[in-house]
Amino acid sequence: MRAWSASPPRWKRRRAEEHSMTHEIDNPEALAELREAFLRYDLALEQNDVAVLDDSFWEDARTLRYGVGENLYGHAEIAAFRAGRQPAELARRARRLERTVLHTFGRDFGVANTEYVLLADGRRGRQSQSWVRFPEGWKVVAAHVSLMAPG
């Protein structure tokens, strides 16, 4: 009868070794660049700087943004949504970020997740973004924004 070892099977060890060699997690340089891109985006959101908001998203039909009340497919739909927002709506969306977590996987892919509190009424929400570093810089390729149910 075969005695079972506490160590993982050889194929799992090999896969883990390959993974750690090819996918550096939270490389300090990549993480700093992602943080800078995320903060640039968030400041533009606060100031309704539509040009920076548009520039922060990958200019491609495959980009998507699921919002609180809309599903947007492609950079053109996202840009049109941003351009059409009214100042009164923006005031209601002023927020404070909490528990922002950023990670990079390799040097060209990262995720940003944050919770936020709407200043107008205290409701809590969440925002998730997938970022890719292209030759022209870090761009959001997919985003999701949601509000939690009260209570």
Integer angstrom CA distances of residue 78 from 7, 75, 100: 49, 5, 23
Residue 37 has pLDDT above 80, yes or no: yes
d(CA 101, CA 117): 16
Token pair belonging to 126:
């969440």
Q: Please name the helix (run of DSSP H) or strand (run of DSSP E) that holds residue 64, with its range, or none.
A: strand 64-66
**Class for domain 26-147, per CATH?**
alpha beta
Predicted TM-score (pTM) of the model is 0.83
pLDDT computed for residue 150 by the predictor: 83
Candidates 100, 129, 133, 103; CA nearest to 28 is: 103
d(CA 67, CA 118): 15
Task: Indicate the DSSP class of residue 8.
Answer: P
Q: Give CA angle at 113 (91, 58), nearest 5°.
A: 80
Per the rule left: phi > 0, alpha: psi between -120 and 50, beta: everything else, 99 is: left
Q: How confident is the model at residue 115 (pLDDT cuts 50, 70, 90)?
A: very high
Residue 86 has pLDDT above 90, yes or no: no
CB distance 111 to 128 below 8 Å: yes
Please state the length of the chain: 151
Integer angstrom CA distances of residue 67 from 7, 21, 38, 120, 136: 45, 36, 17, 19, 25
Mean pLDDT of the chain: 90
Token pair belonging to 115:
């919770």
